[in-house]
């Protein structure tokens, strides 16, 4: 009888552990938004943990980081930052990147639609984020306009990349 009770207790503990691990795993993707467009673009998006105040100062918003892969051709990885306020640069912008609590480094990103999207193509950008827990992006809105900063909690990033890669039928970067 005692053995039966101990086995029952062990089974109950295992069930609780599996349940908790399952919940923890589900929670890591809760902040991610996945989409597949008709043109084959597969995306995973994440809101910044901080807010930026719009140019008028009346409203605030969280920038959105998106990773994407295009499935209907050569898989092409891209990451972009969606803003509500436009940057004044027309083609390229220097983005300062900090992963976790590491050193800052700079990259050149393209300025997209109406200056409200900052884009970086290539699987290497996605690859460097897989092992990170936190991402901080910093950029200048313009010569006299000040800096913008977006801070992202990357919980579930590896799982999000796996899901996007699976939908694109391609390897994880």
Q: Show me where the domains of the chain are located.
A: 1-30, 32-168
- Residue by residue, what is the 3-state secondary structure of 99-122? ECCCCEEEEEEEECHHHCEEEEEC
Tens digits of per-residue pLDDT, 107-118? 999 999 889 999
* Residue matched to tokens 């993707």: 29
Contacts with 122 (C-beta within 8 Å, 6 or more apart), sequence order: 77, 78
Residue 55: pLDDT band (50, 70, 90) is low
Burial 17-33 (b: 16+ CB within 10 A, else e): eeeeeeeeeeeebebbe
Average pLDDT, the chain: 83
More confident residue, 1 or 92: 92
DSSP 55-112: TTSS-EE--EEEEEEE-SSS--EEEEEE-SSPPS-SSEEEEEEEETTS-EEEEEEEE-
Angle between helices 123-130 and 157-168 in degrees, nearest 10: 140
Q: What is the pTM of this model?
A: 0.80
Q: List Cα–Cα distances, 95 to 28, 82, 106, 150, in angstroms.
A: 26, 14, 6, 11
Which candidate, 134, 164, 153, places its Cα nearest to that of 33? 164
Nearest to 162 by CA among 153, 154, 151, 171: 171
Token duo for residue 131: 């092992």
**Residues in Cβ contact with 126 at an 8 Å cutoff, skipping those fewer than 6 apart:** 67, 77, 79, 161, 173
| H or E element, residue 20 | helix 2-29
- Give the CATH architecture of domain 32-168: Sandwich (2.60)
What are the pLDDT digits (tens) for 85-143? 888 888 999 999 999 988 889 999 999 988 999 999 999 999 999 989 999 999 988 77
């Amino acid at each position: 009888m005692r053995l039966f009770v101990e086995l029952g207790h062990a089974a109950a503990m295992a069930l609780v552990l599996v349940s908790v691990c399952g919940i923890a795993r589900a929670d890591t993707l809760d902040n991610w938004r996945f989409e597949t467009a008709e043109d084959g673009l597969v995306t995973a998006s994440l809101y910044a943990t901080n807010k930026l105040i719009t140019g008028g100062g009346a409203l605030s918003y969280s920038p959105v980081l998106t990773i994407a892969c295009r499935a209907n051709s050569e898989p092409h990885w891209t990451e972009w930052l969606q803003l509500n306020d436009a940057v004044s640069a027309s083609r390229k912008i220097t983005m300062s990147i900090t992963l976790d609590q590491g050193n800052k480094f700079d990259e050149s990103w393209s300025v997209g639609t109406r200056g409200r999207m900052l884009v970086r193509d290539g699987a290497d950008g996605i690859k460097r984020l897989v092992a990170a827990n936190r991402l901080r992006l910093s950029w200048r809105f313009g010569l006299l306009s000040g800096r913008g900063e977006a801070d992202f909690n990357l919980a579930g990033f590896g799982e999000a990349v796996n899901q996007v890669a699976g939908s694109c039928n391609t390897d994880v970067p």
